Structure formats: C-alpha cells, structure tokens
Amino acid sequence: MLPAAFSTRASLATVLPSSLAALSGGANELALPRMEHVVVMLVDGLGAAALRARSGHARTLAPLLGKTTTIDAGFPTTTAAALTTLTTGTMPGVHGMVGYRVRDAAGRLTNQLSGWDGRMDPATWQRSRTVFERAVEQGVRARAIGLPKFAGSGFTEAVLRGAEFVGVQSLAERFEVAAEIVASAGPGLTYLYVAELDALAHARGWESPAWTAGLETLDALVSGFARRLGPGRGALLTADHGVVDVPESGHILYDTAPELLEGVAEVAGEPRMLHVYTEAGEADAVARRWQDAEGDRSWVATREDAVAAGWFGPAVEPEVAPRIGDVLVAARKRIAYYDGRDPQRTGRNMVGQHGSLTPEETRVPLLRFGAVA
C-alpha cells in the first residue's frame, strides 16, 4: 500500500488562495475573515513534529499547534515543489515542479532551485499562474520578502512572479520590513520567507542545539511581529516541509548493488526521494528490483502507480508526466540514498534531510495571528 500525499482537508495549496479571498471578504477554504492585509510567513523546514518536540523552546508557536492547525505540505517534500504549491495554489502534477532535480524537456538533469537557463524558461516551465499575479489583477499589492541573493533568480521568477520582491538579509530585519508594510494603507498580500531553520537543519540536524536556538529566535520574532498587527491585519505561519535527521550510518550507496542500476539511465531527485529514469521498457523490471532490495525501508512505485496514488495531486498533466521518474524511491526509514561513485560526495555532509512521505516530512504547522486568530 502506498501512502497518501494529501491527507488533510487543508494543505499548503489552500493557504495563499484563501488569504487572497479573505481580502475581499470572499469564501475560502480556511474560513478566514475579511481583512485589509494578510502576511504569510513560510518557515523553510519547520515540521510539525519538530516543533512539537521542541515545544519548550517555542512559547509563542507551540501552544498554537494542534490537530486542526497541522496540514499537509504535499509531495515531494522539497522546497522547489512545496513553495510552488504554496504560491500557485496548485499541486505538482499541474504546476510541474515535481522534484529537486529532474529531467527537463531537453533530457538534461536540472536543479529546480538553481539550474535555470534559456532552455528551461521559468515563465513556462512553472505552468501555473501565481496567487500574486491574481492579486495584482484584483488591485491588491503583492510583496515577497526574502534574501537578497534570490532576487531575479530563475526560481524566484517561476514561483514569485507578480509580487514585488524585497531583499532583506537578516531575519530580524525581514520581520521589521514586514511590520512596516503591514501598517501601510490599502489591501495587501505579503509573503515572508524564513530560510534559517532549514539551513541549520541541513548543517547540524533539527535535533541540534543550533537548530533549537534558531527556533527560539524565530519564536521571539513572530511574537513581537504578532503584537504589532493592527485591526484588519492577520498573519499565517506555515512551512514547506519537515526534516528527518539521517546519520551517516543511514547513507545507502545504491551503486554497491549493481542490480539496482540494471536498466537505469539516470538517477535524480534527492537523497530521500529518488527519481529513477529507466531505459525504454524497463520501468517495471527496475521497480521490482528496487522493491526486492529496498522495500523494507522505502516505498517503491512506478510513475503510473505514484500518479494513481495521488502523490503529485489529483491530476498530472501530460506535459508534466515525463518530468517524473519512471520509478520513484521514497525513504520511510532514517536513510538517504547516494551514488558512491560521486567523487564530490554531493550532499553527504547534510544531517537534516527531506523529500519523502513520512509524517515528519509532510506535516507542517498552519498557525494564525492577529485578525485571523
């Protein structure tokens, strides 16, 4: 049995569309009241399980976390896919951002965060209109606050188009800028991106003192920001995925099992969610070999099985389907897959990882402040 990817009524896909609808008093899936301005805070890597486990270090956030304030981020639990789901209100099978590293129309393996070039146009590769574009059409000023290094990047152009990008380096300054924007007159929709916890998780693990200290900092900033929200101003806090700490003993070198590479053309995705592209006609045989070898610690599915299980949403468009691996290998234990032949040992120094379908990765908070509380 394959697990479901979208199992809660609300998901990351409902957050921004509901926020935009609330600005005009329209009905919305989150039942948000009418507001003048909404801020959506996206905390990269803040899983509900980790927040619950560190509740003593998050006196503002943790008490708000419960069954009704926990939602599915969707699948795959990687930033490229999840942020696009958030900003478009559509799911990967429609918007087309189906993984971290996937095969593009030219047959190249391309990084969805940093691999953009003229042959992968962000205006067309990401296939859905963003909520920010819709907001502007409705007379709502849309802004996106993030790190300056992301200004003008291909990924930014793909997922934040329509929003005015405001680059701010420090986390505290990002919250200060958001507070100033919210205080301005007129309807507004603001997106605030928090990168720091994900970076700490990758480098040290979410179970590390460094990550816990980062959570404390975030909690204090959110608390101060929430107190400054005036009448008609609301804020939502959510995340794109959670994190699983993987010890080095959990690194699986798939090249040491030659049968796993029989019939395989290329392996992409990321360590906890492989997209395996096969030679023509080999998908079923490759899936069987991976299932026999790895089925006790990973979910193995052909593209057709994953699509039928709704991993990429209820529909996968014909243009999107070829981007998905012929075989998908999604880790369910504390493991990560690597090619031991890689001389750069790419990614092998990461502790915190994500991408798969475990609750630790898929379940994220959706917390309310101000006029939406």
Dihedral class, residue 345 (left if φ above 0, else alpha if ψ from -120 to 50, else beta): left
Taking the chain, what is the end-to-end CA distance rounded to the nearest angstrom? 38
Query: Rounded distance, CA 330 to CA 360, Å?
Result: 13
Under a CB-based contact definition with an 8 Å cutoff, are residues 339 and 207 in contact?
no
The pLDDT, as a whole number, for residue 29 is 96
The pLDDT, as a whole number, for residue 299 is 98
Under a CB-based contact definition with an 8 Å cutoff, are residues 60 and 219 in contact?
yes
Under a CB-based contact definition with an 8 Å cutoff, are residues 273 and 99 in contact?
yes
The pLDDT, as a whole number, for residue 134 is 98
**Angle, to 10 degrees, between the axis of helix 12-23 and the axis of helix 79-88?**
30
Q: Which residues does 180 contact at the CB level (< 8 Å), separation at least 6?
A: none
Q: Which residues does 31 contact at the CB level (< 8 Å), separation at least 6?
A: none
DSSP secondary structure, 63-83, as one string:
GG-SGGGEEE--SS-SHHHHH
**Strand, helix or coil at 329?**
strand
Encode the chain (373 residues) as per-residue pLDDT tens digits.
Answer: 899 888 888 999 999 999 999 999 999 999 999 999 999 999 999 999 999 999 999 999 999 999 999 999 999 999 999 999 999 999 999 999 999 999 988 889 999 999 898 888 999 999 999 999 999 999 999 999 999 999 999 999 999 999 999 999 999 999 999 999 999 888 999 999 999 999 999 999 999 999 999 999 999 999 999 999 999 999 999 999 999 999 999 999 999 999 999 999 999 999 999 999 999 999 999 999 999 999 999 999 999 999 999 999 999 999 999 999 999 999 999 999 999 999 999 899 999 999 999 999 999 999 999 999 9
The pLDDT, as a whole number, for residue 118 is 81
Query: Rounded distance, CA 137 to CA 350, Å?
Result: 42
Q: What is the largest CA-CA distance in the chain?
A: 63
Domains belonging to the chain, first-starting first, are: 12-244+357-370 (3.40.720.10), 248-352 (3.30.1360.180)
Would you state the structure tokens that stand for residue 71, as one six-digit string?
């939602």
The pLDDT, as a whole number, for residue 115 is 87
**Residues comprising the chain, all counted:** 373
Q: Say what the pTM is.
A: 0.97
Q: 301 pairs with which residues across the strands? A: 328
Helix (H) or strand (E) holding 102: strand 101-103
